[in-house]
Amino acid sequence: MCGASFLYAFAAVALTEIGDKTMLGTVCFSAQTHRPFAVLIVSMLALCLATALTIAVGYFFGLLLPLDVLSWIAGVAFVVLGAYIVLHVETHADESCAPSHTLPGMFVTVLLSELGDKSQLAIFALSATEQFPLAVFAGATLGFLVVNLVGALFGNRLTTVVESGTVHYLTGLLFIAIGLLSLLGVI
């Protein structure tokens, strides 16, 4: 059912992206540039491109493999993904946000950070098993929009409460911590 594909994709993206590195990166970029809607547009363009590529690959796999095999793979993927989310609450932003104050730099950062992300894995599984890839795209895009709109608006407001230098300093500390955790294989 087309509506179900839309809702599954929306829920999967919205739930996996709340507090994820892409949302926090949007907060960071918005706080740094003071241009929340430009940040939102650039972020959404990158997310739409990543999602379209993921759906194309997932749909292709859906044509190659039998539906029962794809359903089993998708089921396992969602169970593993759900367990990961429950066990590993993410509190990090994209470590490459701080040095890139330009909108093209942000586009590349968001695009690369999404490849292989939990939301993209969920979109891949849905596009391989659902019969309506455009509904999956629309649901995923709306999920990204809702979460990143909140991120862009919060980031823009953050610097009205906290000095911009403080935001940069705290963001830098957060990125150092993320980098160290990443080097240690924690995230």
Query: With bands split at pLDDT 50, 70 and 90, how would you rate the model's confidence at 94?
Result: very low
DSSP state of 159: H
Burial level of 104, CB count in 10 A (0-12/13-18/19+)?
exposed
Query: With bands split at pLDDT 50, 70 and 90, how would you rate the model's confidence at 81?
Result: low
Q: Note the pLDDT tens digit of each residue in 153-164.
A: 876 676 567 665
Residue 133 clears pLDDT 70, i.e. is over it = yes
Rounded to an integer, what distance in angstroms lies between the CA atom of residue 27 and that of residue 36?
A: 9
Which structure tokens are listed for 185? 């294989």
Side-chain-facing half-sphere of 5: CA atoms under 13 Å: 19
